[in-house]
Amino acid sequence: MVRAAWVMGWIAVVLTLDAHGSLTTQRLLGVATWLLLLAALRRESTTVRIQTAVVVVFATAMEYICSPLLEVYVYRFDNVPAYVPPGHGLVYLAAWSIGQSDFVRRHLRGCLAAVVVAGGAYAMWGLFLGPRPDLLGALWFGCLVGFLAWGPSRPLYIGAFVVVTYLEIVGTALGTWTWQSHDPTGWIPIGNPPSGAAGGYGWFDLAALLATPYLLARLRRWRPALEPTPVRDVVDADQAV
């Protein structure tokens, strides 16, 4: 929980400074965030490092597609800020840390139920009561429910809901980025922020779980002495339910 707390604190600092800073400030925040991510990964296993790297690559690709290319949301300088790629790595580690905490592992059923209730209430508010209809948020919440029910890393999705919902609310409130009112087709209305954004991290985690065994095997060919750490799996926590 300590790591999750300082990651969320760092998110608030970065987004506040970026909301009122220059492009140079944004780049310096990117350097600092990269250094923090590397420091956070020092004590992690090779497997977790690879999974985090996969999430960073996959999430960054989605950032460039959704923001500069499709303009589903836009940042202040119409770019992808330098702190965003390493920021995704920190968010993933924070979500993983929450999911691995003693509290979540002991009370997994209750935490799953709390996320479904809170996320569902937020999605319904966004869809029917928010400043503008938020169909995209409701669809993403549906993805989150699916991952919570059948995904391989249910505790992690609990952490993702907490961290991603927090950063979306803070970032849009500060004006660091703004979501468009509709998707590029014009058919799907979007809230600012969309309520179920955490559902996207289920796909990031799935990409990491699928890619890591292959990447780990390739890495072991180059470094035979690499520790035989299995792919991170939280199914043991699920089995306690």
CA distances 120 to 2, 50, 129, Å, are 27, 32, 13
Range with lowest mean pLDDT among 130-134, 227-231, 237-241: 237-241
Residue 41 Cα distances to 89, 93, 97, 103, 206, angstroms: 10, 9, 12, 23, 20
Answer whether 141's CB lies under 8 Å from 160's CB: no
Q: What is the pLDDT of residues 6-29, one digit of tens each?
A: 999 999 999 999 999 999 999 999
Q: Round the average pLDDT of the chain to a whole number and report it.
A: 91
Q: What pLDDT does residue 233 have?
A: 45
Total residues found in the chain within this entry? 241
| For the chain, percent of residues with pLDDT exceeding 70 | 92
Residue pointed to by tokens 């999974």: 51
Task: Note the pLDDT of residue 81.
Answer: 97
Contact indicator for 114, 218 with CB cutoff of 8 Å:
no
At 115 the pLDDT is 97
**pTM summary value:** 0.89
pLDDT of residue 222: 75
Q: Give, in order, the Cα–Cα distances in Å from 47 to each of 97, 120, 128.
A: 15, 33, 42
